[in-house]
């Protein structure tokens, strides 16, 4: 597949004709059913040649012919993937996204972190993602203050069914019920023993092949206790021949006093965990913060360069959000955004004014749009689409990381998984 950016005045039928694809196939693949998508929307177009999306900063004297010749790609593909790009007029410093042919598939590990939603929706997501998956982690188990483990809404059987359906390594994803529960399991020996005894039963029974631990949001003063907890958990998991994934918030330096990241000793976690999941959704566009990209490329790159000084690159998974948030404008600290899954609202939704254009932030390599909701209030949305995910996959490859961990709430666009399966050798 390659990325096609919808231009003003284009329709799905006209795009389909220009790229030689059936309109219904294009619509179904991208889950876009209105005839006129919002300009700037990213579409995935099937092609007989696998591609990867690379970023290129325009240099002085560049022309489109020079750039595409350097990458040995057709000019029409470069034009398709970038907005307002003219053949002989490129601005120095502009960042282009270029779908270039991939002659040999590179290995990529892909983990799916699924936040459980409606049963049918969960199953459909796993079905869509299955060809692209190396491992599957269902957000399934909450730890209480006594070390007990609970499947929300009695979902244990459902989670086991999904794990079986995924047909790949399945991990039990463990999170604390709240801050109080996290502290008690870390500090209170009886609660901790109870936690390990319950957890190891599942790993020993072959229901799961390992543990995905996400004790995020810990205060810096818990660093020493969390270190001991990770060491003990790694020892117990390996005794059962399982694997351990540990999620951490991204950061630029090892500062034990850092409010958000100080509790996570990256050197120790990298030593004991089989995979360190670099959860960028824990640092940038957040429900309690102002509108911004959930996965800004330039900031991710900076934090990963720090991570690679401490953790072996074969152990690092870049945790990416496969969703977005929609904030009220102007932003106030007491407001919280809505979650969005697939991009701009459609004409059928309750809005006063649809987005006129999906804009592209050339530093964050993320799309965003503004519109007016049904009450006439202005809103701003940032999300991840095929173009932004493809660009960050290229960063993963360029840095030599093991792969990605995609965080999903219920549904995703099937084309994202097909793009990954087509372009990479799933490890």
When pLDDT is cut at 50, 70 and 90, the band that residue 267 belongs to is very high
Among candidates 172, 278, 270, 260, which has minimal Cα distance to 223? 260
For the stretch 293-322, pLDDT in tens is 999 999 999 999 999 999 999 999 999 999
pLDDT score for 155: 65
Contact 4, 53 (CB under 8 A): no
Sequence-distant (≥ 6) Cβ neighbours of residue 35 within 8 angstroms: 11, 12, 13
For the stretch 331-373, pLDDT in tens is 998 889 999 987 898 888 889 999 999 999 989 999 999 999 9
CA distance 268 to 280: 20
Contact 23, 13 (CB under 8 A): yes
383 secondary structure, DSSP code = -
Tell me what the mean pLDDT of segment 142-158 comes to.
Answer: 76
Please state the φ and ψ torsions of residue 423, each to the nearest 5 degrees. Answer: -100, -15
The pTM of the full predicted model, rounded to 2 decimals, is: 0.90
Please state the φ and ψ torsions of residue 344, each to the nearest 5 degrees. Answer: -60, 150
Bond preceding residue 150 cis, omega within 30 of 0? no
Highest mean pLDDT among 98-102, 112-116, 391-395 belongs to 391-395
């Amino acid at each position: 597949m390659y990325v096609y950016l919808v231009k003003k005045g284009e329709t799905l039928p006209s795009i389909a004709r220009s790229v030689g694809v059936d309109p219904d196939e294009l619509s179904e693949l991208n889950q876009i059913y209105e005839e006129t998508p919002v300009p700037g929307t990213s579409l995935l177009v099937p092609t007989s040649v696998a591609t990867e999306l690379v970023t290129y900063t325009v240099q002085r004297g560049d022309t489109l012919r020079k750039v595409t010749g350097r990458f040995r790609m057709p000019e029409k593909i470069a034009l398709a993937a970038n907005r307002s790009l003219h053949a002989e007029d490129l601005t120095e410093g502009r960042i282009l996204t270029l779908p270039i042919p991939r002659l040999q598939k590179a290995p990529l590990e892909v983990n799916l972190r699924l936040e459980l939603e409606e049963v049918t929706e969960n199953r459909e997501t796993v079905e869509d993602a299955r060809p692209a998956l190396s491992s599957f982690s269902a957000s399934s188990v909450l730890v209480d203050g006594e070390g007990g483990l609970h499947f929300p809404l009695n979902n244990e059987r459902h989670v086991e069914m999904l794990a079986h359906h995924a047909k790949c390594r399945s991990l039990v994803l463990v999170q604390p019920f709240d801050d109080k529960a996290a502290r008690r399991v870390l500090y209170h020996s009886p609660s901790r023993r109870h936690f390990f005894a319950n957890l190891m039963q599942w790993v020993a029974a072959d229901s799961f092949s390992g543990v995905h631990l996400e004790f995020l949001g810990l205060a810096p003063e818990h660093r020493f206790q969390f270190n001991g907890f990770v060491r003990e958990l790694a020892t117990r998991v390996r005794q059962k021949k399982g694997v351990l994934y540990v999620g951490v918030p991204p950061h630029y330096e090892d500062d034990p006093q850092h409010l958000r990241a100080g509790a996570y000793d990256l050197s120790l976690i990298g030593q004991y965990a089989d995979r360190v999941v670099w959860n960028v959704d824990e640092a940038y566009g957040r429900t309690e913060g102002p509108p911004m990209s959930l996965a800004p490329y330039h900031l991710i790159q900076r934090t990963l360069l720090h991570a690679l000084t401490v953790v072996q690159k074969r152990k690092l998974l870049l945790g990416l959000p496969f969703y977005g948030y929609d904030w009220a404008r102007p932003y106030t600290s007491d407001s919280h955004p809505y979650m969005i899954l697939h991009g701009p609202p459609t004409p059928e939704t309750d809005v006063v004014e649809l987005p006129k254009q999906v804009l592209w932030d050339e530093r964050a390599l993320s799309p965003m749009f503004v519109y007016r909701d049904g009450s006439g209030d202005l809103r701003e949305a940032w999300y991840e689409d095929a173009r932004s995910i493809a660009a960050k996959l290229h960063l993963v490859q360029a840095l030599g990381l093991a792969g990605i961990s995609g965080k999903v709430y219920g549904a995703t666009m099937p084309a994202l998984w097909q793009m990954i399966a087509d372009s990479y050798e799933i490890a």
